[in-house]
Amino acid sequence: MNEAELRQAMSTLEVFRAQLESIAQNQQLVQMSLEELGRARETLVQYQKAKEGDELLVPIGGSSFVFAKVAGETKAIVGIGTGVSVEKPIDDAIKTMDDRAAELMDSMKKLTERRMAIEEQAAALSQAVDMELQALQRGQ
């Protein structure tokens, strides 16, 4: 490896680090979305199980809850993307959340696979750069 190739390899390692950081941020966002969906789904399930007039704790975000009484409604408003929400029967709303969670899990799997591939490439390149630097140091 000549000096230019060594600089290129080190630059590539920096790109790998930036990609890994971006993937980690995306994984964190997906995880937060999964947790939010899980809380919303659980709220719907508990609401569905409750009887009219029962009091429930309803999450409002920020680890905060409000007390609410079940009105006997069998429908929920569910976001379907880009700021659009629709009214659906609770069973359909739960299914929508399950489907969205499955999509998010698939995204998480792809992000993890991509992260692992980049980590492998980075490790191999890093090892090659380290060996080259050691060889250069021994040669001087």
**Residue 72 reports pLDDT greater than 80:** no
CA distances for 123 relative to 22, 27, 77, 128, angstroms: 18, 21, 48, 9
CATH of 3-130, one of 1.10.1040.50, 3.30.450.40, 1.10.287.370, 2.40.50.1070: 1.10.287.370
Geometric angle at alpha carbon 16, from 11 and 21, rounded to 5°: 125
Q: Could you tell me if 9 and 128 are in contact, meaning their C-beta atoms sit under 8 angstroms apart?
A: yes
Rounded to whole angstroms, the Cα distance separating 93 from 41 reads 8
CA nearest neighbour of 15 among 96, 106, 121? 121
Q: Domain coordinates of the chain in residue numbers? A: 3-130
**Residue 137 reports pLDDT greater than 90:** no
Rounded to whole angstroms, the Cα distance separating 81 from 84 reads 6
- Predicted pLDDT of residue 60: 86
Tens-digit pLDDT profile for residues 73-120: 789 999 888 889 999 999 999 999 999 999 999 999 999 999 999 999
Check residue 57 and report its DSSP letter.
E
Tens-digit pLDDT profile for residues 24-36: 999 999 999 999 9
Tokens of 18: 């930036």
- Predicted pLDDT of residue 107: 97
Tens-digit pLDDT profile for residues 5-50: 889 999 999 999 999 999 999 999 999 999 999 999 998 998 888 8
Rounded to whole angstroms, the Cα distance separating 52 from 41 reads 19
Neighbours of 86 (CB within 10 A): 13
